[in-house]
Amino acid sequence: MGRCHKRYTFPVSYYILADCNNFYVSCERLLNPKLENKPVVILSNNDGCVISRSQEAKDLGIKMGDPYFKIKNFCKQANISAFSSNYKLYGDISRRIMNVYSEMAPEIEVYSIDEAFLKYSSANSSDIGSICQHLRKMIKRWVGIPISLGVGPTKTLSKVANSLAKKNKNGFFDLSSEQIRSEIFMNYPIGDVWGIGSRLTERLKNVDIHTIADFVAKDPLFIRNKMGVIGERMHLELLGIPCLELEEDVASKKSITCSRSFGKLLNKESEIAEALSTFAARGCVKLRAQNSFAKAIYIFVETSSTAGGVFQRFQFNSHAVFEKPTNDTSEIITAAKKCLKRLFQSDKQYRKCGIIFSDLISEEDIVPDFFVKPMSPQRKAILKTVDDLNKKFGKNKLFFGAMGVDPQWKMRSDFLSSHNTTSWDHLPKVIA
């Protein structure tokens, strides 16, 4: 059954940045309403550090990046709920939200797992206000996640507006008006603008640019000399002149990296090889999904030391170049394990490994080599069948033996919530 929704198409363009509020926390609350209005934090891989916080946790002084082992006791004392990252759940909720945006907006660019730029046309700003209220209402009703919406005549201004929307109770802020922009710009730090990093902030401060107002008051030639073409575009965008269009077609990646920290330190080559083979297989699925082939791979392993009370990481790497570009999982796993054999030292303990697929090209760009046989159609069909079955029945339902049957290296996820929306086994049970 189709959903009833509104579509707006008018002559003047407006950009809306739709951003989910504390997205990971909101996903956990969606399936556990008891967490509403209570402090919640989400932890990174291996339950390492804080990567998402509820407003209540922020108010208690929890900062992004805080190592969990340092705040663990405080979390218990303050009744702060901690959860391991549940990316299956977050990815599924994200897809649902983006599907709703796609139904309701004429144009959309998915910017991240919890952000999207929407482009509308409207005769006046009052139309855009009703659009935003309708969007917030529908996302909350259909998916259950609160969102904030920032409006502006350019993508950069919609980003600025969104940061202000998060501080509004109605979750909406409109920077379409030049008068409102001039008032806001007087006190808005230039370092908080999308695309301005800490280094560039310091450089701008040295030329007496501290706020957006200072920035837009400068001559465009001055900005171009200091920041190049990118700075000039940013200058125009903040003046309300669109320079950045929506990127509706996501380009294929030029390189792919798959890596993870281990759940414990490893000193056996066989265990590290299982992890490396798993990452290689995962990367090959991504290669085939975008119809790419790798000319070479780089693998790395990491050790660590706390000598003298100072934590240090040491990374060792090796590489392999293929006779012909490939996305064949077995071929890449074999090459990766040979690289590992060159690097492994039995007297060291390893904390992480990974693989980088580099020099990626599409199939139509591969130059035939008379002396090297291409991948057979039968082999392609087998790999496609494996990918299709895993996509249909779940990741790694079919897997390569090199990945191991019962891996002991997997990440710690001591506080993982259920995959309620992605697993039949985790559906809530109602007992009459």
What is the residue-wise DSSP string for 301-341?
Answer: EEEEE-GGG--EEEEEEEEEEEEEEE--HHHHHHHHHHHHH
pLDDT tier, 47 (very low <50, low <70, confident <90, very high otherwise): confident
**Average pLDDT of the residues in 378-392:** 90
Residue 53's DSSP bridge partners are 41
pLDDT at residue 43 greater than cutoff 50? yes
pLDDT at residue 319 greater than cutoff 50? yes
pLDDT tier, 252 (very low <50, low <70, confident <90, very high otherwise): low
CA atoms within 13 A on the CB side of 333: 20
Residues 6+ apart with CB under 8 A from 143: 30, 93, 96, 97, 100
Of 123, 131, 179, whose CA–CA distance to 151 is shortest?
131
Tokens, residue 395? 């990741």
* Fold annotation for 177-250: DNA polymerase; domain 1 (1.10.150)
pLDDT tier, 248 (very low <50, low <70, confident <90, very high otherwise): low
Q: Which of the following CATH numbers is that of domain 256-395: 3.90.550.10, 3.30.1490.100, 3.40.50.300, 3.40.30.10?
A: 3.30.1490.100
Q: Which of 138-147, 249-258, 263-272, 407-416 has the highest mean pLDDT?
A: 138-147
The structural architecture, per CATH, of the domain 1-176 is: 2-Layer Sandwich (3.30)
Q: In which residue ranges of the chain is CATH 3.30.70.270 found?
A: 1-176
What is the residue-wise DSSP string for 341-355?
Answer: HHH--TT--EEEEEE
Between CA 116 and CA 321 the distance in angstroms is 38
The Cα-based distances of 180 to 118, 121, 175, 243, 358 in angstroms read: 21, 20, 6, 21, 47
- Mutual orientation of helices 377-393 and 269-289 as an angle, nearest 10°? 100
Q: In which residue ranges of the chain is CATH 3.30.1490.100 found?
A: 256-395
**pLDDT tens readout for residues 204-233:** 999 999 999 999 999 989 999 888 898 999
Q: What is the pTM of this model?
A: 0.73
pLDDT of residue 21: 95
Decide: residue 104, CB within 10 A, 0-12 exposed, 13-18 middle, 19+ buried.
buried
Q: In which residue ranges of the chain is CATH 1.10.150.20 found?
A: 177-250
**Average pLDDT of the residues in 8-26:** 82
